[in-house]
């Protein structure tokens, strides 16, 4: 028997192995698909927009939360001691040259 003949015979015999879903299963599939398709159709543009905007809104909400927590933490933390820059920038030195007084920051 050639390979081709063997495969053809096998193909004829194997055809009966096709899975036959029962009526309950086919009805259930049709009903579920119908429900989901109806949902899609009813949602339409609103659904698509919701899908796109949901992650954007979620990201913004997360950022807002982080900002609120950050500001709150800064407000609660003790006032830091002024650094050298802060001291030097807030104090002025008066220099008198030839009767004129110059204020140097």
Partner 1 sequence: MMSATSMFGGASLGSLALDRSVFTAERAQTRSAISEDPIEARAITAVKAGDAGSYGYLVTKYTKRVVSIAWGIVRNAADAEDLAQEAFVKAYENIARFKTGEPFGPWIYRIVTNLGLDLIKHRKRFRHEEITDAAPAERRDRADLPAITNELAARIDRAIQSLPEMQRIVARLYLVEQFGHTEIAAMTKLTEGTVRSHLSLARGKLKEKLADLHGGNND
Ramachandran angles phi, psi of 85, nearest 5°: -60, -45
92 within 8 A of 101, measured Cβ to Cβ:
no
Contact status, residue 86 vs residue 95, Cβ threshold 8 Å: no
Span 24-63, contacts to partner 1 by CB under 8 A: 25-34, 36-38, 40-41
By the rule CB under 8 A, 16 interacts with partner 1: yes
Cβ closer to partner 1: 12 or 91? 12
Give the nearest distance from C-beta 48 to partner 1 in angstroms.
Answer: 10
- DSSP helix/strand/coil, 79: coil
Return residues touching partner 1 (CB under 8 A). Answer: 1, 3, 5-21, 23, 25-34, 36-38, 40-41
């Amino acid at each position: 028997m050639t390979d081709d003949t063997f495969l053809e015979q096998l193909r004829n015999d194997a055809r009966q192995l096709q899975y036959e879903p029962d009526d309950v299963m086919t009805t259930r599939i049709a009903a579920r698909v119908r429900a989901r398709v109806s949902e899609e159709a009813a949602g339409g543009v609103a659904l698509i927009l919701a899908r796109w905007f949901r992650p954007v809104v979620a990201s913004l909400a997360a950022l807002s939360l982080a900002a609120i927590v950050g500001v709150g933490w800064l407000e609660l933390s003790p006032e830091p001691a002024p650094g050298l820059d802060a001291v030097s920038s807030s104090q002025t030195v008066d220099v008198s040259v030839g009767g004129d007084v110059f204020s140097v920051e």
